[in-house]
Amino acid sequence: MPQPEHSGVLHLRGGGTSVVLATGTADLPVVVWWGEDLGASSRSTLSDLVTAAIPQRVSGGLDVPVPMSIVPGQAAGWFGTPGLSGHRSGRTFSPRLVTREVRPERLAADDDGAARVVVHAADDESGLTLDAELEVTAAGLFRQRLTLTNLGPEPYTVDALAPVFPLPVGADELLGTTGRHLRERSPQRHDFTVGTHLRESRRGRPGHDASLLLAAGRPGFGFERGVAHAVHVAWSGNHRLLAERTPAGDSYLAAGELLLPGEIVLPEGAAYATPWAVGSWGDGLDALAHRFHDDLRARPHHPRRARPVTLNTWEAVYFDHSLPKLLDLAERAAGVGVERFVLDDGWFRGRRDDTTALGDWFVDPAVWPGGLDPLVSAVRGLGMEFGLWVEPEMISLDSDLAREHPDWILRARGDLPLPGRQQHALDLAHPEAYKYVLTRLDALLSEHDIAYLKWDHNRDLLEAGGAGTGQARVHETVLALYRLLAELKDRHPGLEIESCASGGGRVDLGILELTDRVWTSDTLDPVERLTNQRYTGLLLPPELQGMHLTTPAVHSTGRTVALDLSAGVALPGHFGIEWDLTTLDQAGLREVAGWVALHRRHRELSHTGVVVNADTGPQADVRGVVAADGTAAVFTYTQVSTSVTYPPGRFTLPGLHPDRHYTVRVVAGAVDDGPGQSPLAWTRRPVTLTGRELGSVGLQAPVLHPERLVVLELTTG
């Protein structure tokens, strides 16, 4: 909780994190420290900490040097990227916001050490006020949100507003993610030099190439060790992440919404609130990720019940919706242990391919003469939940909706934007369009026993303006989406929703306030998924990531994969199946059922435990989940490619309790499948070692063919 203010200093603590806030050294507060908990520092120590951070006047510089505040600007002597950019028709471009009040507040989680402060600042000459919320959560996340209010009679245009997160000494390397459809969240690193490294998304959603977060750390930082700090913006539309190092020695990260021209114009009395910018840190990326995971799991609305094993019909039938085929598939699914059956694209009126009918959210009587009830009833009778695919934010030109309401299509001018995925985007911020979508989805959910919506969003937005106005509309459509999701959940308690956007194009903490998992990627290639899921895991725990096994001939890449690799890579997540099970014989079904059973056996551990990743070379992958009390763990060892050494040498298992004794068993996968090799001793007879020994000395790696995997079960007692 906040410690008493002394000489303009506040110390926010929680979850092993300290934030020291100086409130008397500049117009706005200054974050003097964000990172490792400094302990119950004395008042004099905190005051001296602030004094030790005040810059001095230097040759060629300003006569009055001022430290970087929470919203830096030129009025305070800041030459870097401003925290606030805006104007009144070109005037009032450099406000001087000065602190009027600092209010330490208590959080509901205060008993766990969380802390919060609200800073109220104003500039009477500019007619602006600012409220800055800064909090350290019980999990140790550092969250910031800014609200700017216009008190002047003339409208104020906001071009940019984002809080900053100062970095400690030694943060000299940057890590972000990039990618494309079917390969989201691929890591990229480079030196953190003087200047600005800027990552922007202008796609109307985070996008496949978005950086999930932007991290800065000590050179060479990995998953197991190396101090790193990172920021994420909890927003499902356009956004900006930047890292900046100034010639004056300031280094910081910033995260905020990217505003299109004229998107936020505040009339007198109106306010704009930024999305939450969320910072985490840790000694190693795993420790950094654990703060996000712990914070998400502490939410009152976080999924608590066991995540249902899901079969999705897309790669099994595509648009071929034949009731006998789907009934056969449902019976096979129930037989292997599936708990949720999801009917994908192709069920609604006129939808025979991906070029038509988006927006016409009525069950197609030509394909479903008896409606969806026969399938829904059969699925429920087999003991499974029923789910349905929808894409409510999109519209096909060849649809009744587009013919009746062309004015509901987002556009910046009379012409339509270039098409993407043979479709356009609906102006969800249009009141009548919003009402229509809400009415149709509410009707579907009321008329059928639907427990789950796979909510897709299959194209990036271009020229996303309101029809008839030409004004930028991304901000308003995101807020409308949030309202729609909240309204549907309010009307249908227990409804679960997946955020899918051509796979992993909309993965952020904003959408996850209203949804229950993300579809991590449209690629089900387990080799591609290894990287994708590892870096998605920097933000999300396994239970929020859709991870499915797939057909041996992977549809997205053409790779042929073994079931042990496909299922083993999916094992820790919200597990599911993308496969036409009607093509399998009884032996094949038993093998799939075995993997479903293995997942269900370890589901609680995987979805409540601590995720760990070993720092290995590119030829192997070692990852696992350790029970929160350290009593058990499940790891996978994957031979990604051939090794230079043969046999490949040892590997270690991080994250175990150092003094506990763990018995290690191979419980699934392809042990000893290499040619002409002798049995590996510890795979034939379980070994018992301490967590310290397994994390330091390790185990001899099995010789596996490339793209094969083994599952290790660790138990104590």
Half-sphere exposure of 170 (CA within 13 A, CB side): 11
Round to whole Å and give the CA distance between 83 and 255.
10
**Can you give the pLDDT at residue 24?**
85
Closest to 188 in 3D by CA, of 196, 177, 180 = 177
Element (H, E) at 691: helix 691-696
Amino acid in position 712: L
Q: CA separation (Å) from 461 to 274, 481, 604, 619? A: 21, 14, 39, 38
Q: Which residues of the chain have pLDDT under 70?
A: 1-7, 106-114, 672-676
Do residues 14 and 136 make contact, with C-beta atoms less than 8 angstroms apart?
yes
Task: Give the chain's domains with CATH numbers.
Answer: 71-297 (2.70.98.60), 339-519 (3.20.20.70), 612-715 (2.60.40.1180)
Question: Across the strands, what pairs with 101?
Answer: 120
Q: Which of 399, 444, 453 is nearest to 426 (CA)?
A: 399
The pairing of strands 394-395 and 385-390 is unpaired
63 is catalytic: no
Q: How far apart, in Å, are the Cα atoms of 37 and each of 228, 391, 472?
A: 14, 45, 43
Burial class (CB within 10 angstroms; exposed 0-12, middle 13-18, buried 19+) of 353: exposed
Report how far residue 529's alpha carbon sits from residue 549's, in angstroms, rounded to the nearest whole number.
11
Query: Residue 65: is the preceding peptide bond cis (ω within 30°)?
Result: no
Q: How far is the C-alpha of 569 from the C-alpha of 573, rounded, in Å?
A: 9
Residues paired with residue 240 on neighbouring β-strands, in sequence order? 200, 256
Q: Would you say 27 and 69 are in contact if contact means Cβ atoms under 8 Å apart?
A: yes
The pLDDT assigned to 113 comes to 55
Task: Please state, in angstroms and as integers, the Cα–Cα distance from residue 689 to each residue in 319, 446, 665, following that order.
Answer: 52, 55, 12
Contacts of residue 426, Cβ cutoff 8 Å, sequence gap at least 6: 359, 392, 393, 394, 395, 408, 409, 410, 433, 437
Please give the distance of CA 641 from its chain centroid, rounded to a whole number: 28
Type of residue found at 119 = V
Question: What does the pLDDT read at residue 105?
Answer: 83
Strands 239-245 and 9-14: what pairing? Answer: unpaired
The pLDDT value recorded for residue 107 is: 47
pTM: 0.97
Give the model's pLDDT for residue 672: 58
Is 320 assigned a catalytic role?
no
Question: Which one is catalytic: 345, 360, 427, 522?
Answer: 522
C-alpha neighbours within 13 Å on the C-beta side of residue 337 = 17
Angle between helices 586-608 and 563-570 (to 10 degrees): 20
| Residue 169, Cβ density class (10 Å: 0-12 exposed, 13-18 middle, ≥19 buried) | exposed
Q: How far is CA 234 from the centre of its chain?
A: 9
**Catalytic residue selected from 456, 460, 516, 621:** 456
